[in-house]
Amino acid sequence: MSTSKVGIINRVLTDLKVILNEEPEGKYLDILDNDNLPQMSDAVLIMVQYETALSSFKKRYYQSYGHGYAKEWTWITTEFVKEYLSEESEDNEFEDEETS
């Protein structure tokens, strides 16, 4: 591999490592060594580790919510949880008013 190819790959991997660092798989993620240029197989192995970590990340944080035909898929973020809980609270208040 060339130095420029390693640099291009490492820019992407570095950004992903920031996102995935706190995940359980984060401790297994490395970037390519720019000083000792890796073989193509080394790069593939490292990228497969990232692919696996990204797949786990998606399974963990991209989920469906709702019921029946109204099911939607979304990323479960702090902002989504706050909004969802706020909507749930408003729905419960509305239901309480109807039953009174």
pLDDT given at position 87? 78
Count other C-beta atoms under 10 Å from residue 50's C-beta: 20
Q: Name the CA radius of gyration of the chain, rounded.
A: 21
Please check whether residue 24 is in contact with residue 60, taking contact to mean a CB–CB distance below 8 angstroms.
no
Please check whether residue 61 is in contact with residue 27, taking contact to mean a CB–CB distance below 8 angstroms.
no
pLDDT tens per residue, range 42-91: 999 999 999 999 999 999 999 988 777 888 888 988 898 888 888 777 66
Our measurement of the distance from residue 17's CA atom to the centroid of its chain's CA atoms, rounded to an integer in Å, reads 11
Please check whether residue 85 is in contact with residue 78, taking contact to mean a CB–CB distance below 8 angstroms.
no
d(CA 84, CA 71): 14
**Residue recorded with tokens 């920031």:** 18
pTM of the complete model: 0.74
φ, ψ for residue 73, nearest 5 deg = -105, 140
